[in-house]
Chain A
């Protein structure tokens, strides 16, 4: 009975130690992880469509016949819930602005515009964070 008690005590102590150790490890690790992570744009492409959460036919020139064009972005990491902007410019005129939400820890997102006959010409999409900091510019053309 006494041995049983001793064993139980030893096990509890060792458990406590291990827990303490593991907690300490976790604390260290979490302390190293608590350095604020920066929202990073992992991939940005213009594509014809999105299929299985991946860009289909990334390109720099799109025919107006396909009817739409997508701006695909992949962010890794996403430190916190945030949002980004896609500003679509036809030549130098702002055509539309899309607000897209990002969720941690990583996120893929995209915006799309429908193409009309008057949309032919050079385009660019400015990707900026919620504070308006420019993250990237994608340039492409809409042709016949």
Chain B
């Protein structure tokens, strides 16, 4: 049978769902130690499956043990890392979002700092050199070579800071100098609202290819000076754009995004193939056969009918499926039901087919033995039948059980017409003579209904009271 016919829609959903879960785990944990250990576990698992396939019992067993222990260790050792990944993100980010790699970029830090300075009306001059060397045009300055941070930039331009009037030079991700004096512009047509900072920024921009960001102390407005131009900045986005253009990050970023998309695509594909492999391993890799003895359940029997005979009470089902699924079968998951809705009094023959059998997902029926079940139905009637005690055991040799009186003498029994027509006596359960003494006495015994399909009619007693007389034997 072609393999594709075995795949159900549940299997497709199963694979896709788990592939996505694996892909999301990669997205959320990539770059962390957890991810590396998870990758290690995945390789161990693959190794274990290969070992099992080739019959390397000990290796397979050891790999299985290590995998299980590692899975436990990962939760204990990396609990903080896992918690930080899961807690820091909202549900949407966990299920759908793509977190940015690494911390905030230099541009992001500069933009955030400028935004803060602008809001607080702290004057600032930030120089971002391009290709030209600025040493010839800059004066003074104190080397710093500190990593950029928002707090650092804000504190440099704080009014009480001795270097707050000068400019800062940013090279790469570091502030290389602070308190630098820039050359002033000699332009005479500068608007009157621009002060010395703006003139200094323009002065540097005119003579070099550097970009200078200016924050006005008076108005808090932000401008960028580049190539003899002063550009008003409205919002963080436009500043970010200009800074990126200046640093030539647009192309780099585009490349980076392409690479990122490619990585994600590869990760998604690997997730899909890995889960498909796992699914095949679990579901199809080991095609196991099992034979189950399952009781036949008769449904939709007419209330006036009684099952008096059935050729079998159980059928043997030959089932196939993966070892894991076969092992996990619960008895209540496998049912054989025969519909007696159209059955008639007398012999009925039913074929046991796939339609009569319910199986758990992933388990397939190969054969039913026997495939035909014969059921004999009878009409249900009531009949009054005498009761007789079924004595067992032995009295002492000198005694005889001379007389008994049984109550009730007769009981009304409900059952199949054919059975009841043949039945002339209802016996009690075995009553032992051994404990009975000479004289009179009374004992009780339950009625034994055979076959089990018989029932005592409502109103009739299902227990007999036996009054007896035991006398001495006449020799």
Asked whether B110 is an interface residue with its Cβ less than 8 Å from the other chain, the reply is: no
| CB neighbours of B392 from chain A (8 A) | 120, 141, 143-144
Asked if residues A92 and B423 are in contact (CB atoms below 8 Å), the reply is yes
Asked whether B28 is an interface residue with its Cβ less than 8 Å from the other chain, the reply is: no
Asked if residues A122 and B400 are in contact (CB atoms below 8 Å), the reply is no
| CB neighbours of B425 from chain A (8 A) | 91-92, 122, 124, 139
| CB neighbours of B403 from chain A (8 A) | 60
Asked if residues A58 and B402 are in contact (CB atoms below 8 Å), the reply is yes
Asked whether A121 is an interface residue with its Cβ less than 8 Å from the other chain, the reply is: yes
Asked if residues A121 and B386 are in contact (CB atoms below 8 Å), the reply is no
Closest to A120 in B: B392
Interfacial residues of chain A within 43-74, with CB under 8 A of chain B in the complex: 48, 56-61, 63
Asked whether B401 is an interface residue with its Cβ less than 8 Å from the other chain, the reply is: yes
A89, A91, A121, A144: which contacts B394 (Cβ < 8 A)?
A144
Asked if residues A141 and B391 are in contact (CB atoms below 8 Å), the reply is yes
Asked if residues B400 and A57 are in contact (CB atoms below 8 Å), the reply is yes
Min CB gap B403→A, angstroms: 7
Asked whether B211 is an interface residue with its Cβ less than 8 Å from the other chain, the reply is: no
B390, B394, B404, B474: which contacts A122 (Cβ < 8 A)?
B390
Asked whether B473 is an interface residue with its Cβ less than 8 Å from the other chain, the reply is: yes
Min CB gap B124→A, angstroms: 113
Q: Which of B392, B397, B422 has the most A CB atoms < 10 Å from its CB?
A: B392
Closest to B473 in A: A57
B404, B423, B433, B473: which contacts A143 (Cβ < 8 A)?
B433
Asked whether A9 is an interface residue with its Cβ less than 8 Å from the other chain, the reply is: no
Provide the bound-state CA to CA distance between A58 and B400, in Å: 8
| CB neighbours of A59 from chain B (8 A) | 400-402
Asked if residues B422 and A61 are in contact (CB atoms below 8 Å), the reply is no
Asked whether B427 is an interface residue with its Cβ less than 8 Å from the other chain, the reply is: yes
| CB neighbours of A24 from chain B (8 A) | none
With A57-B400, A60-B401 as contacts: A122 and B393 at CB distance below 8 Å: no
Asked whether A12 is an interface residue with its Cβ less than 8 Å from the other chain, the reply is: no
Asked if residues B473 and A61 are in contact (CB atoms below 8 Å), the reply is no
Interfacial residues of chain B within 375-406, with CB under 8 A of chain A in the complex: 386, 388-395, 397, 400-404
Asked whether A22 is an interface residue with its Cβ less than 8 Å from the other chain, the reply is: no
Asked whether B348 is an interface residue with its Cβ less than 8 Å from the other chain, the reply is: no
Number of interface residues of B (CB under 8 A): 23
Provide the bound-state CA to CA distance between A91 and B433, in Å: 19
Asked whether B353 is an interface residue with its Cβ less than 8 Å from the other chain, the reply is: no
Interfacial residues of chain A within 108-144, with CB under 8 A of chain B in the complex: 120-122, 124, 137, 139, 141, 143-144
Asked if residues B395 and A63 are in contact (CB atoms below 8 Å), the reply is yes
Interfacial residues of chain B within 425-446, with CB under 8 A of chain A in the complex: 425, 427, 433
| CB neighbours of A141 from chain B (8 A) | 389-392
Provide the bound-state CA to CA distance between A60 and B395, in Å: 12
Asked if residues B433 and A60 are in contact (CB atoms below 8 Å), the reply is no
**1/0 per residue A24-45: CB within 8 Å of B?**
0000000000000000000000
| CB neighbours of B423 from chain A (8 A) | 92
Asked if residues A137 and B400 are in contact (CB atoms below 8 Å), the reply is no
Min CB gap A70→B, angstroms: 14
Min CB gap A44→B, angstroms: 14
B393, B400, B404, B474: which contacts A144 (Cβ < 8 A)?
B393
Asked whether B424 is an interface residue with its Cβ less than 8 Å from the other chain, the reply is: yes
| CB neighbours of B401 from chain A (8 A) | 59-61
Asked if residues B390 and A63 are in contact (CB atoms below 8 Å), the reply is no
| CB neighbours of A120 from chain B (8 A) | 392
Min CB gap A90→B, angstroms: 11
Q: Which of B400, B401, B424, B474 has the most A CB atoms < 10 Å from its CB?
A: B400
Closest to A58 in B: B402
Asked if residues A122 and B427 are in contact (CB atoms below 8 Å), the reply is yes
With A60-B402, A61-B395, A92-B424 as contacts: A139 and B388 at CB distance below 8 Å: yes
Asked if residues A63 and B394 are in contact (CB atoms below 8 Å), the reply is yes
| CB neighbours of A89 from chain B (8 A) | 424
Provide the bound-state CA to CA distance between A91 and B390, in Å: 10
Closest to A63 in B: B394
Min CB gap B445→A, angstroms: 12
A58, A137, A143: which contacts B391 (Cβ < 8 A)?
A143
Asked if residues A61 and B433 are in contact (CB atoms below 8 Å), the reply is yes
| CB neighbours of A139 from chain B (8 A) | 386, 388, 425
Provide the bound-state CA to CA distance between A121 and B428, in Å: 12
| CB neighbours of B388 from chain A (8 A) | 122, 124, 139
Asked if residues B474 and A57 are in contact (CB atoms below 8 Å), the reply is yes
Min CB gap B161→A, angstroms: 116
Min CB gap B391→A, angstroms: 4
Asked if residues B422 and A56 are in contact (CB atoms below 8 Å), the reply is no
Asked if residues B404 and A60 are in contact (CB atoms below 8 Å), the reply is yes
| CB neighbours of B391 from chain A (8 A) | 60-61, 122, 141, 143
Asked if residues B386 and A137 are in contact (CB atoms below 8 Å), the reply is yes
Q: Which 9 A-B pairs have the closest CB atoms?
A: A141-B391, A144-B394, A61-B401, A59-B400, A139-B388, A61-B391, A122-B390, A59-B402, A60-B404
13 A–B contacts from the bound complex (CB under 8 Å) = A58-B402, A60-B403, A60-B404, A61-B395, A63-B397, A89-B424, A92-B425, A120-B392, A122-B388, A122-B389, A141-B392, A143-B392, A144-B392
**Partner-A contacts on B (CB < 8 A):** 386, 388-395, 397, 400-404, 422-425, 427, 433, 473-474
**Partner-B contacts on A (CB < 8 A):** 48, 56-61, 63, 89, 91-92, 120-122, 124, 137, 139, 141, 143-144
Extra 15 A-B pairs, beta carbons < 8 Å, given A60-B402, A143-B433 = A56-B474, A57-B402, A60-B403, A61-B433, A63-B397, A91-B427, A92-B423, A122-B388, A124-B425, A137-B386, A139-B386, A139-B425, A141-B389, A143-B392, A143-B394
